[in-house]
Amino acid sequence: MPTGYTGKILRVDLTNDKVATEPTKMEWAKQFIGGKGLGAKYLYEELKPGTDPLSPDNMLTIWTGPLVGTMVPLTSRYVVITKSPLTGTFLDTYAGGYFAPELKYAGFDGIIVTGKAAKPSYLWVNDGKAEIRDAKNVWGKDMFKTEELLRDEVGHKYARVAGIGQAGEKLSRIAGVTSDITRNAGRGGAGAVFGSKNLKAVVAKGSLGVEVPKIDEFMEMAKQMLWKDVVENPDHAGLITDGTPIIVDMSQDAGILPTNNWHTGQFDGYLGIDSDALKTRVFVKKKACFSCGIACGSFAKVRDGLFKGSSTEGPEYETLGLAGSNCGVKNIEAVVKFSEDCDRFGLDTMSAGSAVGFAMDIYEKGIITKEDTGGLDLRFGNEEAYAKMPEMISLRTTKIGDLLAEGTLRAAKAIGKDTEKLVIHSKGSEYPAYDPRGSIGMALAYATSDRGADHNRAWPVASDAYGDGDPWSTDGKAAICHEEQIMKSYKWSMIYCDFYGVSDENMAMYYTAVTGLPADADWLKAVGVRVWNLVRAFNVREGFSRKDDTMPDRMATEPLPSGKTEGKTVSREAFEKMLNEYYALWGWDEQGRPTKKTLEDAGLSDIVGTLDYL
């Protein structure tokens, strides 16, 4: 067994109340590493196509990676991999904090949960052992209270808890998994998969540790890298001083800051929600995840006013954009409260922010009224009403809360009246906070992201809106998406944090230092191509193809009104051109399906027989 892997996977069958330990399939780990890749392989092999994501048959899997728990910087994330109840696609959703190393120290590379418990339950994992326990004391409670109570129950003050608030229990398709109070595997509705299985949480405590070869040399290397490649790396400077909120001003300047449900790309109240507002009004202290020297996170607390006492970690840029400007909210204190309640009740701040922005839009248009909102005057910028929304969505109180809990697209379909055109999404996943009308590459990145619209698979906005590229030229955008999707696929399989600007050579060097297995940049790239094609094949097998790799009509038909993006749209022709180029780069057919040759070249010959179209 190579070091870095525990060599054990925990199998949990909730229907039959059984736990078992099995060896990690190392022949798969050598091809797919861990995290995203290894989880995708297990899901592809074991999940029956067409499975309802909220049925007992869906697999809920949680993965660490070989570097987790070591001194390799910025490798403390876990990933929840399942079939998404929001999009119906493959879902991989990540969180940092402290849960991942704890799970590793408790002895497991991953956990695979199937079935549905007869009653609310939680999973207690401790030093190679696990048991399914009764969750009656925490079911119905929020995640802040749940963490506290479960730590008491297992008798470890710092047991780590990843679980769901009421949103997940009530099967909200925008419910996330909360760990360490403020860290979220937020996107895609993983929290609802927990809820559908009557699984409240996974609680981990471990003291088995992780061994590496030649530990003295390893520690010296890791120490040098922590200083040279992390703390003193100029690419990390903005993350160290500000964190992601620094992007608010950049997006405002570029005219791509989603505002009032994507009707404008600039927000006149942006100075109330930007990084300076955070630093001067609510900042308490910088906060890192385990093994991170950057500490992009800010613990923030509201000092006075309506939301006095509310606290959160962040808010991060996506929250400030989607739940700030996109809801017309111009005071960071209100966003802190919104973010806190999303953590408390277990909602994805991104989807929830988008959903509330949409609700405000249709409220102002008179499509919904106070009868639907429980009497709230849900105008853009009404902070008092806005701040009540995470609780209403999570508890499904009021008509609008209950509808939005299904995600914005399903809510619009239920409401009808042509509201679907107001939803800005791809595959049902609400767009992240970069308007493609001033960053055309993002239209392609969102359309081709494996879990529905997303910014963590490719981020062409860095060069086209924030850099010196052309935000409206399609040139090279397919290539950026292609290259970054490959890179992110191996980076998420290792599992590094997005914010470590680590070179391929160093990534390979760390992997070899931890596992003793050979690696180089070419091998990493091959793994990335393999993982992305495998996930694409998963989605194709579920019925996804070109028809689903879409951009909402408003991006093509509704020009932005001000700033650098004034008058700008993304034309249908430009979008389709990028998509054609993108499929060609990947070696997929015109319907966006991997060809037999592409799969064989990627080392995926064994799945060719599983795909009907081949």
Q: Between 85 and 97, whose beta carbon lies closer to another protein?
A: 97
> Shortest distance, CB of residue 211 to another protein, whole angstroms?
5
Which of positions 311-350 make contact with another protein (CB under 8 A)?
311-313, 340
Pick from 10, 138, 212, 277: which binds another protein (CB under 8 A)?
212
CB 527 within 8 A of CB 489: yes
CB 511 within 8 A of CB 519: yes
* Site track 436-465 with another protein (rule: CB under 8 A), x = hit: ------------------------------
- Sign of torsion, CA 597 602 607 610? negative
Q: Peptide bond preceding 495: is omega within 30 degrees of 0, i.e. cis?
A: yes
Q: Distance between CA atoms of 360 and 353, rounded to whole angstroms?
A: 11
Span of 12-20, 188-196, 284-292, 477-485 interacting with another protein by CB under 8 A = 284-292
The yes or no reply on residue 226 touching another protein (CB under 8 A) is yes
Which residues, 6+ apart, have CB-to-CB distance to 35 below 8 Å?
63, 64, 65, 77, 79, 92, 492, 493, 494, 495
# residues contacting another protein (CB under 8 A): 45
What b/e string do you get for 431-456 counting C-beta neighbours within 10 Å, with b at 16 or more? bbbbbbbbbbbbbbbbbbbbbbbbbb
Pick from 69, 353, 436, 452: which binds another protein (CB under 8 A)?
69
Q: What is the dihedral of CA 326, 332, 338, 340, to 10 degrees?
A: 140
The yes or no reply on residue 377 touching another protein (CB under 8 A) is no
Span of 128-136, 282-290, 384-392, 449-457 interacting with another protein by CB under 8 A = 282-290
Span of 13-21, 209-217, 367-375, 454-462 interacting with another protein by CB under 8 A = 209-217
Tokens representing residue 341 in the block: 């309640």
Which of positions 175-204 make contact with another protein (CB under 8 A)?
180-182
Mark out the alpha helices in 542-602 (DSSP H runs): 553-557, 572-586, 596-601
The yes or no reply on residue 379 touching another protein (CB under 8 A) is no
The yes or no reply on residue 283 touching another protein (CB under 8 A) is no
The yes or no reply on residue 208 touching another protein (CB under 8 A) is yes
Q: Between 23 and 209, whose beta carbon lies closer to another protein?
A: 209
Q: Distance between CA atoms of 181 and 163, rounded to whole angstroms?
A: 10
Q: Between 221 and 479, whose beta carbon lies closer to another protein?
A: 221
For 380-532, list the strands marked E by DSSP: 425-426, 429-430
Q: What is the largest CA-CA distance in the chain?
A: 67
Q: Distance between CA atoms of 236 and 68, rounded to whole angstroms?
A: 21
The yes or no reply on residue 497 touching another protein (CB under 8 A) is no
* Site track 230-269 with another protein (rule: CB under 8 A), x = hit: xx--------------------------------------
Between β-strands 110-114 and 8-13, what pairing exists: parallel, antiparallel or unpaired?
parallel
Pick from 206, 255, 401, 438: which binds another protein (CB under 8 A)?
206
Pick from 151, 238, 253, 299: which binds another protein (CB under 8 A)?
299
* Site track 517-556 with another protein (rule: CB under 8 A), x = hit: ----------------------------------------
The yes or no reply on residue 390 touching another protein (CB under 8 A) is no
Q: Between 120 and 297, whose beta carbon lies closer to another protein?
A: 297
Residue type, 361: D
Pick from 71, 112, 175, 378: which binds another protein (CB under 8 A)?
71
The yes or no reply on residue 295 touching another protein (CB under 8 A) is yes
Q: Between 215 and 306, whose beta carbon lies closer to another protein?
A: 215
The yes or no reply on residue 304 touching another protein (CB under 8 A) is no
The closest alpha carbon to 108, from 147, 61, 43, 55, belongs to 61
What b/e string do you get for 72-111 counting C-beta neighbours within 10 Å, with b at 16 or more? bbbbbbbbbbbbbbbbbbbbbbbbbbbbbbbbbbbbbbbb
CA-based angle 446:448:454, to the nearest 5?
35
Which of positions 462-481 make contact with another protein (CB under 8 A)?
none
The yes or no reply on residue 301 touching another protein (CB under 8 A) is yes
Residue 116 to residues 15, 395, 588: CA-CA distances in angstroms?
Answer: 5, 22, 37
Which residues here bind another protein, judged by CB under 8 A?
Answer: 69-71, 98, 101, 105, 144, 158, 180-182, 206-212, 215-216, 218-219, 222-223, 226-227, 230-231, 284-293, 295, 299, 301, 311-313, 340
